[in-house]
Amino acid sequence: MTTQTSGENERGARSRLKMILVAEELFAREGINEVSLRSIASAAGQSNVAAVQYHFGGRDGLLRAIFDQRVREMEVTRRARLEQLGSLDAIADRDLLGLVYEPYLDLTNEAGDHCYARLLLTYLTRFGRHAVPHPAEDETSDEFVIPHILAEVRRRLEGHETGKADARTLMMTTGFLSLLCEHDVRRAAGMEVGDIRELADWSLDLMAATFSLRG
Q: Binning pLDDT at 50, 70 and 90, where does residue 129 land?
A: confident
**Dihedral (C-alpha) 92, 116, 66, 30: value to the nearest 10 degrees?**
150
Question: How many other CB atoms are found less than 10 A from the CB of residue 45?
Answer: 11
Does the predicted model carry a pTM greater than 0.85? yes
Is the four-CA dihedral 208, 210, 213, 215 of positive or negative sign?
negative
Q: What is the CATH number that goes with domain 6-210? A: 1.10.357.10
Give the DSSP letter string of 115-167. Answer: HHHHHHHHHHHHT-TTSS--GGG-TT-SS-SHHHHHHHHHHHHHHHSTT-HHH
212 pLDDT tier (thresholds 50, 70, 90): confident
Grade residue 142 by pLDDT with cuts at 50, 70 and 90: confident
Give the per-residue pLDDT at 8.
Answer: 63
Give the chain's end-to-end CA distance (angstroms, integer). Answer: 63
- Beta carbons within 10 angstroms of residue 182's beta carbon: 12
Domain residue ranges in the chain: 6-210
Residue 130: its pLDDT value, please?
A: 87
Q: Which residue has the higher pLDDT, 133 or 96?
A: 96
